[in-house]
Structure 1
C-alpha cells in the first residue's frame, strides 16, 4: 500500500516537473519572440528616422536605388546633386530649401536611374530619333554618375562614378578640396577608398601670374678714375727763384731787352 502511494506521489511530482519545464520553455520562447519583434521595430523606426536626399518612391520600383550616406567631410553640405558624366550641367539641388546635411549625419539617398532628360520626344528631330533607335539596338552602355557637393562655406567638390548598385552604404570624406568615398564593394568583396582616384581626376589649379614689383633702375656704375695728369704742375726750376722768374730777365736766362749784334 505504501509502495503504491509513493509511486503515485513520484508520478505526480514528475508530471509537475514536466509541466513546469514546458511552461518555462513556452515563456522563454514568447519572450524571445517579443524581443525580436521589438528589435525589428526599433530597426524600422531608425530607418524611418533617417532624412532623405532625393525623392523616396511610394512603392518599390525597378531602377530606383537607395544608398545610406554618412557625412564625414567635417563640413555642412548645403548642395547635393547628381548627373550623368556625359551631361554638361548638374540639375537642381536634391536638398530642399534650407535643408542642410550636417557633419556626422547619416541620410538615405534615393536616385532614379530611369530618369529621362528634360527634352521630350516631341522636341526631338527625326534624325535624333533615328540615332536613338540605332543606339537602342546595340548593347547598352552602363551609365556613370557624378555627384557635386556644395558646402556651407560656398566651396564645391565632385565625386566621380558613384557606385550605384555596388554598395548599400558609403561614407563621404574630404581631404583639402578633394571629396572621396569609402564603401564596401559588393562586386569586389572588399572595402574601396577612392581618394587616389579623385586626386588624379581633380582639376589642376592654375597658377596666378606673379606680379613684378615696379622698381626704378639705378646706374651704380660710377667712374672712380682718379688718374689725374700731373704734367701741368711740372715746373722748370732752372733760372728761377722762389717767384718762378728773375727780375728783368726771362726764365731762360736771356735779357728781355738784349740787342742781338
Structure 2
C-alpha cells in the first residue's frame, strides 16, 4: 500500500484546520518574500538540477532550522523509496541560506507525467538530513501552491511556513506535522505488536521439557507388632456327680466254729 497512515492523518489534520490546506501562519520574513518575488535564479545555489521538463517544480527554500542540512531528497506517493541526495557531495544547505529547489517527479501513480491534474493531486514528501545525521520529513509538500517556503524545526519535527500562490495567504504545517508524528508512533507500536503476535502464532517457540529424576521414597511400614497377652488359664469345671461312697462292712454276728470255715488256729 503506497499511501501511509501518516498521509491519511495529514488529511484529517488539514480538515480540522478549516482553511483547506494548513493552519494560518505568522508572516513569512519580508526579506525572504521580497527575494522570492524579485528572484534572480543565478543568485541562489540549486538543490537538484533545472531542466526543461514540463512537470518540473521549483520553489525557493529558506533554511530556518538552526542546523546545517546535508541531505535533501523528494519522493512522490507512487515511489517505494527516496531517490539519491539532491545536494552535491561536500555541499550543505547552511543556516539562514535560501536555495532554489528543482524537482521533477519520476512517476505520478498511473497518470501521465504531463497531466497537470495528476501533478496537483499527488502527494510529495521531502526528507531532510542534518549535519548531526538526524532526519526529518516534510509531508505533502505544496509544490503546486508555494513559491517560497521556510523550513523550521521544532524538536525533531520539521515543518514549513509558506505563502499560497493561489490565495496569497500564509500557512504553517506545524500542527499537521505534529499530528502525523503522534499517529506514526501509535501505528508503529501497533504494527510491532501485530508482527510479534503473527510470528508467535506461525512459529511457536519450542521449549525443551525439564526432566526431573524420580526420587524413590521408602514407603512407611504398616505392620504393627501385636501386643502380647497372657494365655487364659483353663480351670477344670467341678464334677456334677457325687463322689462314690464305699459300702460299710457288716460285722459278723457269730463267732466262727472252726469247722468248715477254713480258719486256722494258732
TM-score of the superposed pair, with normalisation by structure 1: 0.50
Cα gap change, 1:140/1:73 in structure 2, threshold over 3 Å: closer, same or farther? closer
**How far has the Cα of 1:89 moved from its partner?**
1.4
Matches within 5 A, 1:181-200: 181-200=160-179
**How far apart are the structure 2 equivalents of 1:170 and 1:93?**
20
Structure 2: gaps spanning 5 or more residues? 1-37, 112-116, 190-266
2:45 to 37, 40, 51: 51
SS of the aligned residue for 1:204 comes to helix
The answer to whether 1:143 aligns with 2:135 is: no
**How far has the Cα of 1:186 moved from its partner?**
2.2
**How far has the Cα of 1:173 moved from its partner?**
0.4
Which residue number corresponds to residue 152 of structure 2?
173
- CA RMSD of superposed structures (Å): 3.0
Which residue number corresponds to residue 204 of structure 1?
185
Query: C-alpha deviations, 1:99-151, integer Å up to 9, x for none?
Result: 100000000000113x249xxxxxxxxxxxxxx69xxxxx8582110000000
Matches within 5 A, 1:149-168: 149-168=128-147
**How far apart are the structure 2 equivalents of 1:149 and 1:140?**
25
2:82 to 63, 82, 90: 90
**How far has the Cα of 1:204 moved from its partner?**
2.2
Contact 2:79 2:107 in 1 (8 A): no
Contact 2:72 2:85 in 1 (8 A): yes
**How far apart are the structure 1 equivalents of 2:118 and 2:125?**
19
Query: C-alpha deviations, 1:19-43, integer Å up to 9, x for none?
Result: xxxxxxxxxxxxxxxxxxxxxxxx6
Query: C-alpha deviations, 1:149-190, integer Å up to 9, x for none?
Result: 000001000000010120111100000000000001123431
SS of the aligned residue for 1:163 comes to coil
SS of the aligned residue for 2:41 comes to helix
**How far has the Cα of 1:47 moved from its partner?**
3.2
**How far apart are the structure 2 equivalents of 1:144 and 1:108?**
20
**How far apart are the structure 2 equivalents of 1:61 and 1:158?**
25
| Higher fraction of helix | 1
Structure 1: gaps spanning 5 or more residues? 1-42, 118-131, 134-138, 208-261
Q: Which aligned runs of 4 or more in structure 1 are off by greater than 3 angstroms?
A: none
Contact 2:72 2:128 in 1 (8 A): yes
Which residue number corresponds to residue 240 of structure 2?
none
**How far has the Cα of 1:98 moved from its partner?**
0.6
1:64 to 40, 56, 62: 56
